[in-house]
Amino acid sequence: MKRSIALVSLFLIAGCARAPEKLESPRLVIQTTIKDNSVYFTMNLVGGLRNENSDRAFFDYSAEVVFSEKGKTLPESPFNPVRVSVPAIFPFETVPVSVIASGGEKDVRPLLDMLEINYDEVVKSGATEEMYVPDENIELRRVTFRRENIHSILKGKVHEKN
């Protein structure tokens, strides 16, 4: 009986392929430009999506990157949420992603405040240094993907002709 329970448990654990649930090493840079006597901000967010499965690949992966502070989501703006997508993430692969978003002062203020960045210093210097975004301030939501067994994919490749 114990063996049966152990085998069922192993099957359930092995059968549950988990898609990437967080952005690995999220970093961002915010740059400023002046246009028509107004300051505009451009955020470049980079990170990675890691597939920790040995036998599953994820295709058409898409998610919203959402910024929050103390458990409260920042206001919706061109900077929040932003969408990331990749065509495929194979077993044990980390796929780099990059998102660029632009907006005005009212759009960027909540993000600057969350990261404890002085607005006037960013405007004066023209850009922030690349900074790490703490895990508690960023999450993936509305994740969609198509999951396939890597053995099935490789089996199909063996039968292809060049």
Burial profile 73-109: b = 16 or more Cβ within 10 angstroms, e = fewer: ebeebebbbbebebebbeeebebebebebebeeebbb
Distance set, CA 40 to CA 30, 63, 100, 101 (Å): 10, 26, 13, 11
Question: Rounded to an integer, what is the distance from CA 145 to the centroid of its chain?
Answer: 13
pLDDT (tens digit, 9 = 90+) per residue, 52-109? 999 999 999 999 999 999 989 999 999 999 999 999 999 999 999 999 999 999 999 9
Residue predicted with more confidence, 15 or 129:
129
If you average pLDDT over each of 15-19, 44-48, 157-161, which comes out highest?
44-48
> Domain residues of the chain, as ranges?
20-158
Cβ–Cβ < 8 Å for 39, 75: no
Q: What is the CA radius of gyration of the chain?
A: 20
Q: State how far the Cα of 110 lies from the Cα of 76, in Å rounded to an integer.
A: 10
